[in-house]
């Protein structure tokens, strides 16, 4: 199975693609979309995100795309609103391309990789470096986050029944 993980952002969106099974994942591709090239305005950055993501989906042809669920910190609610715009573009692009879409909570991703849901960015980078035998930590942290999202989705058990509405189990 090939899984593309996406760490959404309106300036930097991380992506990481893994393939294999829960015990032997392989790193296929990883990187970021830096959405500062076109404009500092949100609209043009979202158009750029859609274009970049469409190209990536066509190139990698994932079976599943996993995206980090929206997290709202009570001190910064406006951040969640702006992030929702990027997530909307990502969800739309994935739905048009056809792979299954899975949303994962940040704490679930962290727990699956490092054993607890409050892991720091550095801990996530170290865990990804170790998992794939990389020479150094993935930079920026958005890359490690996207790979962690992909790994978490790859490792989740699936429901195998004849129900067209069945989804990946929590």
Q: What is the pLDDT of residues 110-158, one digit of tens each?
A: 999 998 888 999 999 999 999 999 999 999 999 999 999 999 999 987 6
Topology given in CATH for the domain delimited by 2-155: Nucleotidyltransferase; domain 5 (3.30.420)
19, 52, 142, 145: which is the annotated catalytic residue?
142
For this structure, is 68 an active site residue?
yes
Q: Which residue would you say has higher pLDDT here, 12 or 28?
A: 28
Q: In which band, very low, low, confident or very high, does the pLDDT at 170 lie, cut at 50, 70 and 90?
A: very low
Two structure tokens written together for 5: 């993980």
- Angle, alpha carbons 114-118-119 (nearest 5°): 45
Longest Cα–Cα distance in the chain: 47
In the chain, the N- to C-terminal Cα span, in Å, equals 18
For this structure, is 163 an active site residue?
no
- pLDDT of res. 74: 59
Per-residue CA distances from 17 to 50, 70, 84 (Å): 18, 20, 22
- Mean pLDDT in the chain? 86
Chain-centroid distance of CA 67 in Å reads 4
CB-based contact 130:110 (threshold 8 Å): no
Helices (H), 61-115: 77-97, 106-114
For this structure, is 50 an active site residue?
no
7, 19, 48, 52: which is the annotated catalytic residue?
7
pTM: 0.87
59, 68, 135, 163: which is the annotated catalytic residue?
68
């Amino acid at each position: 199975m090939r899984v593309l993980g996406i760490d959404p952002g309106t300036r930097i969106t991380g992506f990481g693609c893994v393939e294999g099974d829960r015990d032997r994942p392989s790193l296929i591709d990883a990187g970021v979309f830096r959405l500062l090239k076109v404009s500092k305005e949100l609209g043009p950055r979202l158009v750029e995100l859609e274009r970049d993501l469409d190209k990536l989906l066509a190139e990698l042809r994932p079976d599943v795309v996993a995206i980090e669920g929206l997290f709202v910190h009570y001190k910064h609610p406006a951040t969640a609103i702006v992030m929702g715009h990027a997530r909307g573009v990502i969800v739309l692009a994935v739905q048009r391309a056809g792979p299954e879409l899975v949303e994962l909570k940040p704490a679930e991703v962290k727990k699956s990789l490092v054993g607890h849901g409050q892991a720091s960015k550095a801990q996530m980078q170290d865990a990804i470096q170790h998992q794939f035998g990389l020479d150094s930590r993935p930079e920026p942290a958005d890359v490690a986050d996207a790979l962690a999202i992909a790994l978490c989705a790859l490792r989740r058990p699936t429901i195998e029944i004849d129900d067209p509405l069945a989804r990946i189990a929590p």
